[in-house]
Structure 1
Amino acid sequence: MKKIVILGGGYGGVVTGKHLAKKFKKNSDVQIQLIDRNPYHTLLTELHEVAANRTPEDAIRIELKKMFEGRNVDVVLDSIDSIDFKANQLCSAEVTYDYDYLVIGTGCKPTFFGIPGAEENALTLWSYEDAVRLKEQVRTMFGLASKETDADKRRKMLSFVVVGAGFTGIELIGELSEYRDELCREYNFDRADVRLVVADMAPKILPILPDKLIEKSARYLEKRGVEIITSAKITGVNQGSVVLGEQELEADTIVWTAGVEGSDLVGTLDVQQQGRKRIVTNDKLQSVDHDNVYIVGDNIFFIPEGETRPVPQMVENAEQAGPVIAHNIHAEITGKPKKSYKPGFHGTMVSIGSRYGVANVGMPNKMFQVSGFLAMFFKHMINLYYLFTVAGFNKVWTYMMHEFFHVNNRRSFVGGHFSKRSPNFWLLPLRLFVGYKWLSEGLDKLPKVWNHPNSIFLIPASSKAADATSAASEAAGAVSTTVDAQSAASAVGSAKEAVEAMPVPHFITSMVNGFMDIFFYHADGSFTPLASVFQFCMVLAELAIGVLLIVGLFTAISSIATVGLGVMIWSSSMASTEMLWYLAAGIALIGGSGSVFGLDYYVLPWLKKHWKGIPLVRKWYLYTEESPELGALHKPALPASGSKSASAGQSK
């Protein structure tokens, strides 16, 4: 039995665990264990969204046990105090864990560079608890200021200073500028009453970005009313102020985002370190001191061949390092060759609030600079890709709800266009009417297909037999129970006079005709037995859709089927313009129309409850979570055990 221990449930630890579980899923002789002091994985790149009340607290958390559901990874909740590399053991206050292979991904924590008072008097933004605490701090200051009669005290309460103009600081101050506008409306303050400042010792903000994007970012922040102070020597942080060179900024809320260093545990380890407590590795990402110890994420200090600087402390570094480590451990156990870590980074993205961002993205040898909508689009797509790889459909769905559909105050890069909602009872008449139309169509056609199953009128005649239009009319006339020309030209078939079918692009017609030639027509152009079966199923589908819509059962599926059936009829060149309203109505009814005076109100909650209990469903994350009420975004959810320091397993 080989035991692999992953220390830390941050980006690097999670990605490594996923790949190890995949490689050893059929090997019962390998045990994989992931240890973290928190039961959840935190999306550290999205902390600013919770801190400024854009998304609810659970938007940045994923339960580790849920992520590894049904996989060969044992999630252990514990805090490791020391590592004995000679004995191959990790020690917590009460338990000792043995390992054959160890992956260290304990991430970083804020560093204060020895500046007096910074650690004691400033808030940080490096953990879930930090984000929740900061959100409540900002709201509390507005609440207190609304009751304060002393102008100087009120001004200090409404002053917010972010120290550090890197990615974290700029993303935070951008979000705070939007949160400020919300709170000003709520507490009846003028926007000018609130002071937002971002300060840094560097000569410019976001120093690793190209100058063009830096200038765009600065202009956007200034437009949002944010003061930018650069080249400022920060000499101290007091309780209620920060000293920048010769000036002292008074503020009751000071947030420190000026830098990070390795976690406390890494700082105590007897391994070679460089930078700010980063562990030196070889090209296989092994510690240069211990062959069976691998390093992932922010803890890596490795300078790739041809480079002069170590790999950056970025999420992409963790995402690329994890698979390499999993491969190399698997290779060592199975006796196969290892591979070297050759990172290829694809750029950086910064969101400055919910609606604007800048990005320098592309291939390692060719970068493109984008801003605004396109930059935010790239950021969201990359987030969705990562979430799909670690938590599948479940977290992707939740992310889309938080970012696009359940947003307050238009705080999304698509504005509030997708988040406008009205009560479902307005859709009740439409649902009943569409259901009635489908049911009546099906009942009208049922005797025809039952009594004359070989008379085909819902499939156009083969072009080999006659022209499609005339053949449709002839097929309609062949039915013993009179079927008018419109029935042959439209699957709806309810009109009493012939109506010209809607045009269909030639390439679609060609594909549909090719499909029908294979399944529905003999060589002489006559219909196959499968055509009769298909026609009968079409009528049954109309009846089923109609009944389900009327009783409000599985209305989302029925509505999607309405759209699908309409598209299918149109593509076969048999749909009149009447089909357009079927399509439009089907789309309108997809979103929960059966929850009002329908069986969905009772059936769907029961199904969701039992569906989530199926092991295969949980393993592949094929379920959704209940969305919180929008009003709940203001409610605190700070765990009782929260601490100011970053968790051991969280790596940004």
Structure 2
Amino acid sequence: MSKKRIVILGAGYGGVHSAKLLHKKFKKNDEVEVTLIDKNPYHTLLTDLHEVAGRRIEEHGVKVNLEKIFGKKKVDVVTDKIDKIDFDGQKLVSENAEYGYDYLILGSGSEPAYFGVEGAEENSFTIWSYDDAVKIKQHIHHMFEQASTESNENKRRQMLTFVVAGAGFTGVETIGEIAEWQKRLCREYNINPKEVSLKIVEGLPKILPILNDKLIAKSERRLNKLGVEILTQSLITKVTPHSVTLKNGEKIKTNTLIWTAGVQGSSFAANIGLTLGKRGRIQTNEYMQSVDYSNVYVIGDNSYFEEENEGPIPQIVETALQTAETAVDNIEADMENKSYEAFKSNYHGFMVSIGGRYAVAHLGNTSMSGFIAMMMKHIVNIHYLFGVGGFNLIWSYIMHQFFTIKDNRSILGGHFSFRSPNFWLVPLRIFVGYKWLDEGLNKIGKVIEDPSNIFLIPAPPTAATSGATQAAEEGAEAASQWGEALPVPEFIQNIMDWFMEAFFYTADGEFTVLATIFQTGMVIAEVVVGGLLIVGLFTALAAIVSVVMGIMIWTSGMAPTEMLWFLAAGIALIGGAGRTFGLDYYVMPVLKKWWSKTPFARKTYLYID
């Protein structure tokens, strides 16, 4: 039996999801080869492009290297630009190579639709790729920079007028980001905010028509609060480099038009010879197969399929993911001569962010807005990223959205984004290390002299006045020298009593061997943790162990009140104070580089870039 070759064209949401699913299904099948081809070596988080355009997150925050996703997966990633497809010969052709296939999944995405508006394509920005978002960001910054030195009032206002065409999800999210960013730009370039004009232009009677009227009204209020003028029932008829003309004859003087007014299938997909549905999308059957070739599956924005009583499937992320699942399931079914599964959409809702601190959402049968809606948007994004790149991408997302955010533009404001230099923690790190080391060294002599002399664990409640009781009393007396013992809640004390009786006490009311091992381990841990904190090696791990030891001592009922600052200081040190005047400065980069290249780390995504 010859190997089955499955080729996926396009590393968008649907393409990446298809490749992940195929890997899961066929990772142990050497008779199946999976190849993912894209003109870029990275997957773009298209739904976050507006955040780059409005400089809420850094540019690389929307790029995910494909090798990072599929480095240890049964997916061969190829960076190449496909020029044509020979469906009869079953091969994709680029300038320098050919790629044969037995099954083909087409997911080459979409592109803006201009509806024949004069000058729109030539004189507007789009936001359909990473490069588009970067160009918009650079252009807006340049406009403020130029305006700061422009003395002609008309030219200045023209530079500071920003228009978004289309009030769908992308348009509203884009103008919301610009509205927040312009406040910083006005401060940087000493520009009066009243000179800045932000407009969103929509040909329909209302914005975000897919949402209910209540959420639309909330979205309008939020946009108005950000200083955005909403122009509905305002079709654009002409665009020049310096103006936008509306159907009612109004002319808006501007150097910036961002076009988000429509979407259609990619021109590549529309011109490869397959039967088309509407708007340049390829006609498919209910199994996501092209109506022309049964071994060609079409997913996401490329696919045109009308569900009964539902109309054409929408060009949204959930469609891309669900059509990908249908295509992969049916490829497997075809290989195994099983029945195909028909596509059935199951959309969970819609979410729209308006800046970094506000969103509206309709999930299931529930409408929400503000903090809750924005939180749900983050949760959905994290869920998707976990499926794509596990811990690595989630960590990257959290860092971009909360820890490196500028101007408090997140639902948590700037509470997590303010950073103090680590050198302020160096004295605390060394002092906590000294205290643990001193504690351990003072006890280690007793442990060496008589390991069975238990003084770190409360005596068995049924023990007679014996060595066990005496040792425990000595431990309590040592603790009392620090001050009064911290109180322990009754339910925690009950749990600890059960634990002690199960593992540390014998039926005769004596200490077990496990108690001896535990005490020895605790003393050694105090010495090791103290030493690591002093020299600044594996500081985060040592700080975590410090906190755990403090909690253990507290729950034993033998912790002095001074243990509270051990706990607080340990938490403060978890952030990595060893990177300043510590060995972590030298050791951690080397370990991080080594670990990120190990097969286990690449396979599980348990590493940080």
TM-score by length of 2: 0.96
Amino acid at match of 2:421: P
Shift of the alpha carbon at 1:142? 0.8
Alignment counterpart, residue 280 of structure 1, candidates 242, 266, 283: 283
Does residue 435 (structure 1) correspond to residue 433 (structure 2)? The answer is yes
- Corresponding residue for 1:649? none
Shift in CA distance, 296/572, structure 1 to aligned 2, threshold 3 Å:
farther
Overall identity of the aligned pairs, in %: 53
- Corresponding residue for 2:401? 403
Q: Secondary structure at the match of 1:391?
A: helix
Shift of the alpha carbon at 1:337? 4.0
Shift of the alpha carbon at 1:254? 0.7
- Corresponding residue for 2:304? 301
Q: Residue 332 of structure 1 contacts residue 338 of structure 1 at CA under 8 Å; is this kept in 2? A: yes
1: distance between equivalents of 2:177 and 2:25?
A: 40
Structure 1 runs of 4+ with >6 Å offset: none
Shift of the alpha carbon at 1:590? 1.0
Pairwise mapping of residues 160-171 of structure 1 onto structure 2 (< 5 A)?
160-171=162-173
Segment drifting more, 127-136 vs 394-403: 394-403
2: distance between equivalents of 1:460 and 1:14?
A: 57
- Corresponding residue for 2:267? 264
Amino acid at match of 2:521: C
Does residue 504 (structure 1) correspond to residue 495 (structure 2)? The answer is no
1: distance between equivalents of 2:608 and 2:269?
A: 37
Q: Secondary structure at the match of 2:312?
A: coil
Segment drifting more, 138-147 vs 510-519: 510-519
2: distance between equivalents of 1:256 and 1:577?
A: 63
- How many equivalent residue pairs? 606
Pairwise mapping of residues 262-411 of structure 1 onto structure 2 (< 5 A)?
262-305=265-308, 307-362=309-364, 367-411=365-409
- Corresponding residue for 1:483? 474
1: distance between equivalents of 2:202 and 2:469?
A: 79
TM-score by length of 1: 0.90
- Corresponding residue for 1:638? none
Shift of the alpha carbon at 1:497? 6.3
Shift of the alpha carbon at 1:574? 3.2
Segment drifting more, 207-216 vs 272-281: 272-281
Does residue 24 (structure 1) correspond to residue 9 (structure 2)? The answer is no
Shift of the alpha carbon at 1:208? 0.4
Q: Residue 484 of structure 1 contacts residue 496 of structure 1 at CA under 8 Å; is this kept in 2? A: no
Shift of the alpha carbon at 1:476? 5.9
2: distance between equivalents of 1:301 and 1:513?
A: 66
2: distance between equivalents of 1:478 and 1:203?
A: 82
2: distance between equivalents of 1:454 and 1:574?
A: 19
- Give the gaps of 5 or more residues in structure 1: 488-492, 626-652
Shift in CA distance, 555/455, structure 1 to aligned 2, threshold 3 Å:
same
Q: Residue 476 of structure 1 contacts residue 484 of structure 1 at CA under 8 Å; is this kept in 2? A: no
- Corresponding residue for 2:415? 417
Shift of the alpha carbon at 1:211? 0.8
Q: Residue 435 of structure 1 contacts residue 546 of structure 1 at CA under 8 Å; is this kept in 2? A: yes
Q: Secondary structure at the match of 2:251?
A: strand
Q: Residue 453 of structure 2 contacts residue 467 of structure 2 at CA under 8 Å; is this kept in 1? A: no
Q: Residue 483 of structure 2 contacts residue 560 of structure 2 at CA under 8 Å; is this kept in 1? A: no
Q: Residue 456 of structure 2 contacts residue 475 of structure 2 at CA under 8 Å; is this kept in 1? A: no
Shift of the alpha carbon at 1:284? 2.3
- Corresponding residue for 1:555? 539
- Corresponding residue for 2:256? 253
Q: Secondary structure at the match of 1:202?
A: coil
Amino acid at match of 1:477: Q
Shift of the alpha carbon at 1:135? 0.4
Does residue 604 (structure 1) correspond to residue 602 (structure 2)? The answer is no
Shift in CA distance, 320/153, structure 1 to aligned 2, threshold 3 Å:
same
Q: Residue 484 of structure 1 contacts residue 498 of structure 1 at CA under 8 Å; is this kept in 2? A: no
Q: Secondary structure at the match of 1:142?
A: helix
- Give the gaps of 5 or more residues in structure 2: none
Amino acid at match of 2:487: M
Q: Secondary structure at the match of 1:539?
A: helix
Q: Residue 485 of structure 1 contacts residue 497 of structure 1 at CA under 8 Å; is this kept in 2? A: no
Does residue 568 (structure 1) correspond to residue 568 (structure 2)? The answer is no
1: distance between equivalents of 2:35 and 2:100?
A: 10
Residues 406-465 of structure 1: per-residue CA shift (max 9 Å, x gap): 111111111000111111111111111110111111111111222221122222334454
Shift of the alpha carbon at 1:54? 1.0
Q: Secondary structure at the match of 1:274?
A: coil
Alignment counterpart, residue 45 of structure 2, candidates 43, 46, 52: 43
1: distance between equivalents of 2:511 and 2:489?
A: 23
Does residue 583 (structure 1) correspond to residue 581 (structure 2)? The answer is no
Amino acid at match of 1:422: S
Amino acid at match of 1:565: M
Shift of the alpha carbon at 1:567? 2.1
Residues 536-584 of structure 1: per-residue CA shift (max 9 Å, x gap): 0011111111000000111011111111222222333333322221111
Structure of higher RCO (CA pairs closer than 8 Å, 6+ residues apart): 1
Q: Residue 486 of structure 1 contacts residue 498 of structure 1 at CA under 8 Å; is this kept in 2? A: no
Shift of the alpha carbon at 1:252? 0.5
Residues 227-246 of structure 1: per-residue CA shift (max 9 Å, x gap): 10001121111121111121
1: distance between equivalents of 2:269 and 2:490?
A: 64
Shift of the alpha carbon at 1:498? 6.4
Shift of the alpha carbon at 1:111? 0.7
Amino acid at match of 2:225: K
Shift in CA distance, 348/474, structure 1 to aligned 2, threshold 3 Å:
farther
Residues 204-226 of structure 1: per-residue CA shift (max 9 Å, x gap): 11110111111111011111111
Alignment counterpart, residue 545 of structure 1, candidates 529, 532, 541: 529
Segment drifting more, 537-546 vs 82-91: 82-91
Residues 15-71 of structure 1: per-residue CA shift (max 9 Å, x gap): 110110111111111111111111111000000111111111100001112210011
Does residue 78 (structure 1) correspond to residue 80 (structure 2)? The answer is yes
Pairwise mapping of residues 228-243 of structure 1 onto structure 2 (< 5 A)?
228-243=230-245
Residues 279-313 of structure 1: per-residue CA shift (max 9 Å, x gap): 232332222322211122122223345x3222221
Alignment counterpart, residue 502 of structure 2, candidates 491, 499, 518: 518
Pairwise mapping of residues 613-652 of structure 1 onto structure 2 (< 5 A)?
613-625=597-609
